[in-house]
């Protein structure tokens, strides 16, 4: 049976590219207009997995998605890092001199700021989606408009790339989480996403972090989010990596003594940036 994977955005987007990188291309991607819609489809059993962006090396954490992780409590079964490469694309036969308008998602436009400043002849317009801008150029046969989007979008919508790698920062990565309704047993897991609360006492968070450090557990990310309706109370979300499973197990036992509402959101195999 073909796996169904919910993605935010449309086909040809970075979310679809991340899905293909993790699962391979023999999957069916299901387009969703919002991250909440992806969660609803998984909850209803209409898809097998969600691919959800959680942080970008330039833009930072996607905080609303932490709220979705808290509300839906789907297990995290994997992660994938995607190197964000942005290209200028247009209809076949259209040249750079023909272009008057450039359209893309606001963040993508921001990430290509140097290129756009070097080409002030382009009138920049914001779209809802990188791949959506490419699809619009293709479907409406816009010969005076170029889109900034992933290579997958050019392939999917029959566009030609006029300028490659126009993003300002060439080391831009987005991290995506893979969510399911059930935890998956995997050999040699070496990364986990955890959430917990601590008391308000002096050094309470420091005590927890010290437990990880003393067991040789590498803390790769920490994110705090206010607890709804409770003043000065926070949920902490941390990602940890380890080389020795026994060290991780010992760290968890110690951390449990200093936290409340502790949850292992997922244990999975670390994905490398390539």
DSSP string over 154-216: HHHHT-EEEES---S-TT-EEEEEEE-SS----TT--EEEEEEE--SSTTHHHHHHHHHHHTT
Q: Does the pLDDT of residue 250 top 90, yes or no?
A: yes
Neighbours of 103 (CB within 10 A): 24
Q: What is the pLDDT of residue 59?
A: 85
CA distance 80 to 62: 15
- Percentage of the residues of the chain whose pLDDT score is greater than 90: 91
Q: Please tell me the number of Cα atoms within 13 Å of 259 on its side-chain side.
A: 26
Quote the mean pLDDT of the chain.
95
Q: What is the pLDDT of residue 186?
A: 86
Q: What is the pLDDT of residue 194?
A: 98
Quick one: pLDDT band at residue 274, thresholds 50, 70, 90?
confident
CA distance 114 to 119: 9
Average pLDDT, integer, range 239-259? 97
Reduce the DSSP state of residue 137 to 3 states and report it. Answer: helix
Quick one: pLDDT band at residue 271, thresholds 50, 70, 90?
very high
Q: What is the pLDDT of residue 185?
A: 87
Q: What is the pLDDT of residue 1?
A: 80
Average pLDDT, integer, range 223-232? 86
Which domains, from first to last, does the chain contain?
A: 4-83+173-179 (3.40.190.10), 87-163 (3.40.190.10), 191-268 (3.30.70.260)
Cα of first residue to Cα of last residue in the chain, in angstroms, is: 30
Q: In this predicted model, what pLDDT tens digit does every residue of 179-221 receive, in sequence order? A: 999 999 888 999 999 999 998 778 899 999 999 999 999 999 9
- Give yes or no for a contact between 255 and 195, defined as CB atoms under 8 angstroms apart: no
The residues that bridge with 125 in the sheet, in sequence order, are 103
Q: What is the pLDDT of residue 231?
A: 79
Quick one: pLDDT band at residue 230, thresholds 50, 70, 90?
confident
The alpha carbons of the chain give a radius of gyration, in whole angstroms, of: 21
Residue with more model confidence, 272 or 55: 55
* Predicted model pTM: 0.94
Q: Chain-centre distance of CA 249, in angstroms? A: 28
Q: Does the pLDDT of residue 251 top 80, yes or no?
A: yes
Q: Does the pLDDT of residue 248 top 80, yes or no?
A: yes
Q: What is the pLDDT of residue 35?
A: 97
Q: Does the pLDDT of residue 96 top 80, yes or no?
A: yes
H-assigned helices in the chain: 14-23, 35-43, 63-72, 106-111, 113-118, 130-139, 151-157, 204-214, 245-256
CA distance 98 to 162: 11
Residues constituting the chain:
274
Q: Please tell me the number of Cα atoms within 13 Å of 58 on its side-chain side.
A: 14
């Amino acid at each position: 049976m073909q796996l169904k994977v919910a993605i935010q955005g449309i086909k040809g987007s970075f979310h679809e590219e991340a899905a293909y990188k993790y699962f391979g291309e023999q999957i069916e991607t299901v387009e969703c207009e919002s991250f909440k819609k992806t969660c609803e489809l998984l909850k209803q059993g209409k898809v097998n997995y969600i691919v959800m962006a959680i942080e970008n090396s330039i833009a930072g954490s996607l905080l609303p998605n932490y709220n979705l992780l808290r509300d839906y409590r789907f297990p995290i079964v994997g992660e994938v890092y995607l190197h964000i490469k942005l290209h200028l694309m247009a209809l076949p036969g259209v040249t750079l001199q023909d272009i008057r308008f450039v359209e893309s998602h606001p963040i993508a436009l921001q990430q290509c700021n140097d290129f756009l400043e070097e080409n002030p002849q382009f009138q920049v317009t914001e779209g809802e989606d990188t791949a959506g801008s490419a699809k619009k150029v293709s479907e409406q046969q816009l010969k005076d408009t170029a889109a900034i989007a992933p290579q997958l979008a050019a392939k999917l919508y029959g566009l030609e790339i006029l300028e490659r790698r126009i993003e300002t920062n060439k080391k831009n990565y987005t991290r995506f989480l893979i969510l399911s309704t059930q935890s998956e047993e995997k050999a040699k897991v070496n990364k986990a996403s955890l959430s917990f609360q601590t008391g308000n006492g002096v050094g309470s968070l420091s005590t927890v972090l010290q437990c990880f450090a003393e067991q040789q557990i590498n803390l790769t990310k920490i994110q705090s989010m206010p607890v709804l309706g409770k003043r000065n109370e926070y949920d902490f979300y941390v990602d940890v990596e380890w080389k020795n499973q026994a060290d991780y197990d010992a760290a968890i036992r110690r951390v449990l003594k200093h936290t409340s509402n502790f949850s292992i959101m997922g244990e999975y195999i670390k994905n490398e940036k390539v």
